[in-house]
Amino acid sequence: MNRTEAIRVLLVEDEAGDAHLVKMKLGQTRSRRFDLTWAQSLKEAKQCLTASSFDVLLLDLSLPDSEGLATVHSARLMAMDVPIVVLSGRGDTDFALAALEAGAVDYMVKGDFGYDGLARTIRYALLRTEMEGRNNLLIAALEAAANGIVITDKDAIVIWANPAFGRLTGYSPEEAIGHKPNELIKSGLQSEVFYRDMWGDLLGGQHWRGELINKRKNGSLYHEELSIAPVKNGKGEITHFIGIKEDITERKAMEAQLQKLASTDPLTGLFNRRVFLEQLEQERAKVARLPHYSAVLLMLDLDFFKRVNDDYGHATGDSVLKAFAEITRNTSRAIDIPARLGGEEFAILLSGADKNDALAMAERLREQVATTIIDHKAGPVQITVSIGAACILTDDVNGEAVLHRADAALYEAKERGRNQTCWFDF
């Protein structure tokens, strides 16, 4: 409210002497101006409230048409959001508290206004109402927020949570209050070091933000972006923590999908050429760095694959490529890197393998491919594969060197009649 504007006061009082006293006391105030309207009954007060707007209502509890706390209840219904200050001849603390519980914002004893006391009470009533309205607005905003918001005490025990917290975790705010969040939603997928570092920052007074996986009430897991801020009192002591939770499960799934699209061949699901060359370069650097470490590259090419496409169609050709990729996955070890480099050309990077390991694995794969039959309406489709193998050498300056050797061995395998493995040793 603008301090130059008059405070509009509705006085509901049936005693003319008391009304005159109130008018006199407000008139003595120099800090603010008051515009007073006098009503002698609740009925008359209702007419005034209908005709005009007021900033505060001064209410006597003994009126011709109402008595006691019922007067406060009735006035509260009529005045809506207008703050009510009760004026009473009773200096009874219990009765004063009852009046406040009934909807009044303050209580004064008639004749005990003191100098500027009534004006000050009105100003405080307006200030409290304004603060309460602001607090209600903030609470409404928190309640309506799409993200889960939780407030805990200094011991991390929940004292308040919004509906979005319930939608995210499956625990209603009422269920969460009195518990620590980790008692409800901890998944066990974060390490103790993770939580130790987090609480180290928070207890040091720092804002913490991070991602974690939590567990809903029904046991399902979800990805969460969590932001926690410590709240301090005037002495700088932490009294509460405010946590804001955002469900990022869909985002993480999309990121994983994009990562998969960027790193894998869409038809076979194997690594693509770009990722394979990156892994090859890392393996080459490892061989150069570690004296007793070895690795082998296999280059694989399906024999006469063009005939499959020509005779059976590209759909069957795709089925052949997917079947071959599955054999490659199943034959490879968990640490190996199988990839489709393009067309019917594949490669496998055998980490930590030597010549004997590589040739044994290549032969298993070759034999399995040769015995695999793919059904087609025109008849069974069988394929074979030619394989070239070469070691990564310590003096290779890049991955292209071993690719060239393995490709030369693959060419030799084809020259010798296909469906066989050749080692680069020439």
Identify which has the larger pLDDT, 89 or 396: 396
Domain membership flag for residue 127 = yes
pLDDT tier at 318 (50, 70, 90 boundaries)?
Answer: very high
Residue 1 domain flag: no
pLDDT at 191 (0 to 100): 93
Q: Is 257 contained in some domain?
A: no
CATH of the domain at 126: 3.40.50.2300
| Overall number of domains in the chain | 3
Cβ-count burial of 295 within 10 angstroms (0-12 exposed, 13-18 middle, 19+ buried)? buried
pLDDT at 70: 93
User: Per-residue pLDDT averaged across 399-415, rounded?
Assistant: 95
pLDDT at 3 over 90: no
Enter the DSSP assignment of 146: S
User: The domain containing residue 196 runs over which residues?
Assistant: 146-252
Residue 162 lies in a domain: yes
Q: Cα 230–235–240 angle (5° rounding)? A: 25
Residues 87 and 227 in one domain: no
Distance CA 367, CA 350 (A): 18
What type of residue is 189?
Answer: L
Residue 279 lies inside a defined structural domain of this protein: yes
Question: Taking a C-beta distance cutoff of 8 angstroms, is the pair 271, 279 a contact?
Answer: yes
User: Does 300 lie in the same domain as 239?
Assistant: no
Are residue 282 and residue 409 in the same domain, yes or no? yes
Q: Is the pTM here over 0.85, yes or no?
A: no
pLDDT at 260: 83
Q: Is 294 within the bounds of a domain?
A: yes
Q: Do residues 135 and 153 both lie within one domain?
A: no
Instruction: Tell me the C-alpha distance between 420 and 59, whole Å.
Output: 103
- Residue 222 in 3-state DSSP? strand
Q: Which residue from 135, 100, 92, 98 is spatially nearest to 121, judged by alpha carbons?
A: 100
Asked which of 120, 141, 162 is the last residue of a domain, the reply is 141
Element (H, E) at 150: strand 148-153
Using one digit for the tens of pLDDT, what is the confidence trace for 325-336? 999 999 999 999
Instruction: Kindly state the average pLDDT of the residues 259-282.
Output: 92
Q: Where a domain ends, among 226, 252, 278?
A: 252
Residues 166 and 294 in one domain: no
The predicted structure's pLDDT at residue 92: 77
Residues 206 and 318 in one domain: no
Q: For residues 340 and 136, which has the higher predicted lDDT (pLDDT)?
A: 340
For tokens 């030799």, what's the residue? Answer: 412
**Cα–Cα distance measured from residue 86 to residue 109, given in angstroms and rounded to the nearest whole number:** 8
CATH code, domain carrying 211: 3.30.450.20
Helix (H, G, I), strand (E, B) or coil at 159: strand
In the chain the first and final C-alpha atoms are separated, in Å, by: 94
% of the chain residues with pLDDT over 90: 71
2 belongs to a structural domain: no
239 and 272 together in one domain: no
Q: Do 403 and 269 belong together in one domain?
A: yes
What is the rounded CA–CA span in Å between residue 398 and residue 297? 13
Mean pLDDT for the stretch of residues 226-245: 95
**What's the CATH code of the domain at 368?**
3.30.70.270
Question: 172 and 92, same structural domain?
Answer: no
In this structure, are 327 and 396 located in the same domain?
yes
The C-alpha atoms of residue 116 and residue 17 are separated, in whole angstroms, by 19
* Tens-place pLDDT, residues 359-380: 999 999 999 999 998 887 777 8
Q: 60 with 104, same domain?
A: yes
Last residue of a domain, one of 252, 283, 314: 252
- CA atoms of 88 and 15, how far apart (whole Å): 12
259 domain residue, yes or no: no
Residues 111 and 210 occupy one common structural domain? no
Average pLDDT taken over every residue of the chain = 92
DSSP-H helix ranges across 170-272: 173-176, 181-185, 192-203, 249-263
By the 8 A CB rule, do 255 and 248 touch? no
Average pLDDT of the residues in 24-51: 90
How far apart (Å, rounded) are the C-alpha atoms in residues 316 and 375?
A: 9
In angstroms, the CA 146 to CA 162 distance is 9
Q: Which residues 6+ apart lie within 8 Å of 205 measured at CB?
A: 230, 232, 236, 238
pLDDT in tens, 269-279: 999 999 999 99
| Residue 158: strand, helix, or coil | strand
Q: What is the predicted pLDDT for the residue at 125?
A: 87
